[in-house]
Structure 1
Amino acid sequence: MTPAVPATPTAPASVSFPALGTTASLLVADPGAMTAARRVLDDELAAVDAACSRFRSDSELSRVNAAAGAAVHVSALFAEALDVALHAAQVTAGVVDPTVGSAVRALGYDITFAALRPQDLGPLHVAGPSAGWRAVDWDPAARRLRLPPGVLLDLGATAKALAADRAADRAAEVTGCGVLVNLGGDLSVAGDPPPGGWRIALADDHAAPGTAARPTVSITEGGIATSGTSVRTWAREGRRVHHIVDPATGDNPTPVWRTVSVAAFSCVAANTASTEAVVLGDRALDRLRRAGLPARLIRMDGTVERVCGWPEDTVQENTAAKSSSRGAR
């Protein structure tokens, strides 16, 4: 009898396309599962956009913000996104807070980044400290929400990460194979990974060509999120402005980190920690160590800091996916 020859592992299949103002990438360990996995991802992206987009007048978030001062009933998906945002605010002591909507708008980010033109922006305005997550009147059992007058929610810091987690989990369940979802630097994996895990290339900008010279890491579960201040930027009155806001001031935080990548048990947890790190500056190192989260932080001068076992940089060809800071909101 001729002995059986082990089958050669099939390379994961991948597809990338524009979504949520950034690039969505989907990888599946079984190429035959791509159609079903893509359908799941498309459904999740459409749902989260309809629920949480700041840039759609017909989104549920726009309706909630327009009703500030009055109680509104929200959908199950919006309730989940709000719960995630409020939890992020709680665990970060308000450093990552959903009540920064007015501050983000004041800095000029009140339309999609693709449509934002510096010549259309008025004078730079800083809104001042945000109301804070405790000001949100939220009854999760009844799904009833009331915002104080003048308070605007912005779920951008966590909603995209939640979409990545939801899509990866559901696609893995539907297809029965390993799945990776990357939404502009918010990356989640579920199911059985390919041999050696999913290889991730790290970059400031996912849209930059080539991955051969980029450091890579491998993950088999959970998520990685990268937040940064070097790509999604615009100029106002001679000053460079970006999308990450310190709720304590309503302004961009003091520039310390160009890019922060964090690995955690979920993309939401990783995104919360990476955004918090950008706001905290040098204090982020001790905070990440206390939380036990592996992280790679790049200072404005290019110096790299690593904590909690994040590996030394290695470069590998044919990287499976790219994680970047672009599209963080």
Structure 2
Amino acid sequence: MGAEHVEAGFAVMGSTGHLLVAGRPELVAHARLRLEELESLWSRFRADSELCRLNASPPGRWVPLSRPTVALVRQAVRAWEVTGGLFDPTVLPALESAGYSRSFAELAEGVPYADDPGPAPGCAGIEIEDDRVRLPPGVRLDLGGIGKGYAADLVAGELLASGAEGACVNLGGDVRTAGSRPGAGEWVVAVEDEAKPGTDLAWLALAEGAVATSTRLRRRWRRQGREMHHLIDPGNGAPAAGQVAVVAAEAHWAEALAKAALIAGPIDGRTLLEDQGVAGLLVTEEGTAHPAGPWERYVTWTPNSGGTWPVSAG
């Protein structure tokens, strides 16, 4: 018989969160509070968050930050370096130009276009030293996607350190599993087909690790009659297209690589994922799927497998 477990779903970080904790079910409440604390540090829609304080600081001034925030900025800069700038947390001006200047629930039609932001400035001038960060002139950060992945990683690790036998943290599609799944077998994660809501592209089984999906279809809005979304090509400030799912050891890394591969396109994106030693699936707007790395090693079900369509992600 598997360990006692409990699940909880709630709104957090601008998305739907889902927690599963095995072995110490009372830890769910603590984990939820921890996620809310991390959101209060990293939200760009809260004027008192550490991220907003960093972005509002005078250029060139050192800003003291908490350890989790410094670590997140460090990981974002690392992802920018490894992906050759395809993942870029400095696209905030382009997001604001596209209309994403307030929380997603508050976006409205009819806001005038801002000036073309042009290419993102990149992370080359960002300095990190101990518990403080310094941004160069013209650089402001958006840590939304990688922040969700990093929060999932942190909370999953903290749950196991507190005595849980297993944990699954899902923050808007960034999923981190750790420890033992309740019952027998591996953790099973469903990858939704964003072009067909309510259906899945595949089910993936992993002993421990993370799955992240990047797509333009999850966060969309209309602005002056034009459909907009939050995935910005840092090279030109324009929205990108497609869907990419990545399997990696950590959720923040899967998130960053998924976004970078989507920006790169199916061919160069597949090369990027394989160079980084991760598995992935890149889907074009036309629906053509391009597996990368050992993707098939994790797949336990697809729509072409035959049999009955799964009921839930388990």
Q: Give the alignment's TM-score, normalised by structure 2.
A: 0.89
CA RMSD of aligned residues (A): 2.2
Are residue 197 (structure 1) and residue 199 (structure 2) matched?
Answer: no
TM alignment of 1:1-329, pairs within 5 A: 8-9=1-2, 12-30=5-23, 33-36=24-27, 38-69=28-59, 70-119=61-110, 121-123=111-113, 125-136=115-126, 138-141=127-130, 143-194=131-182, 195-204=184-193, 215-253=202-240, 255=241, 257=242, 259-282=243-266, 283-311=268-296, 313-314=301-302, 317-320=310-313
Secondary structure at 1:135's aligned position in 2?
coil
Alpha carbons 2:189, 2:211 under 8 Å: kept: no
| Distance across 2 between alignment mates of 1:94 and 1:63 | 24
Q: How many residues align?
A: 303
| Distance across 1 between alignment mates of 2:29 and 2:194 | 27
Q: How far has the Cα of 1:186 moved from its partner?
A: 0.7
Q: How far has the Cα of 1:12 moved from its partner?
A: 5.0
Alpha carbons 2:281, 2:292 under 8 Å: kept: yes
| Distance across 2 between alignment mates of 1:9 and 1:18 | 28
Secondary structure at 1:118's aligned position in 2?
coil
Alpha carbons 2:74, 2:128 under 8 Å: kept: no
What amino acid is aligned across from residue 181 of structure 1 in structure 2? V
Identity of aligned residues (%): 33
Task: Check 1:162–1:206 CA distance in 2 against 1; reply closer, same or farther (3 A cut).
Answer: farther
Q: How far has the Cα of 1:214 moved from its partner?
A: 5.5
| Distance across 1 between alignment mates of 2:25 and 2:180 | 15
Q: How far has the Cα of 1:173 moved from its partner?
A: 2.0
Task: Check 1:297–1:12 CA distance in 2 against 1; reply closer, same or farther (3 A cut).
Answer: farther
Q: How far has the Cα of 1:318 moved from its partner?
A: 4.7
**1:158-189: per-residue Cα shift (whole Å, max 9, x none)?**
11100000001111221331100000011111
Gaps of 5+ in 1: 1-7, 322-329
Moved more, 282-291 or 266-275: 282-291
Query: Structure with the greater relative contact order (CA < 8 A, sep ≥ 6): 1 or 2?
Result: 1
Q: How far has the Cα of 1:204 moved from its partner?
A: 4.2
Q: How far has the Cα of 1:124 moved from its partner?
A: 5.3
Alpha carbons 2:98, 2:113 under 8 Å: kept: no
Q: How far has the Cα of 1:82 moved from its partner?
A: 0.7
Once superposed, which parts of structure 1, at least 4 consecutive aligned residues long, lie more than 6 Å away?
Answer: none
| Distance across 2 between alignment mates of 1:203 and 1:219 | 17
Secondary structure at 2:233's aligned position in 1?
coil
Alpha carbons 2:97, 2:113 under 8 Å: kept: no
| Distance across 1 between alignment mates of 2:285 and 2:148 | 25
Secondary structure at 1:260's aligned position in 2?
strand
| Distance across 1 between alignment mates of 2:16 and 2:180 | 24
What amino acid is aligned across from residue 22 of structure 1 in structure 2? S
Gaps of 5+ in 2: 304-308
Alpha carbons 2:5, 2:20 under 8 Å: kept: yes
Alpha carbons 2:193, 2:201 under 8 Å: kept: no
| Distance across 2 between alignment mates of 1:234 and 1:73 | 35
What amino acid is aligned across from residue 160 of structure 2 in structure 1? A
Alpha carbons 1:223, 1:266 under 8 Å: kept: yes
Secondary structure at 2:295's aligned position in 1?
coil
Alpha carbons 1:199, 1:319 under 8 Å: kept: no
| Distance across 2 between alignment mates of 1:169 and 1:99 | 28
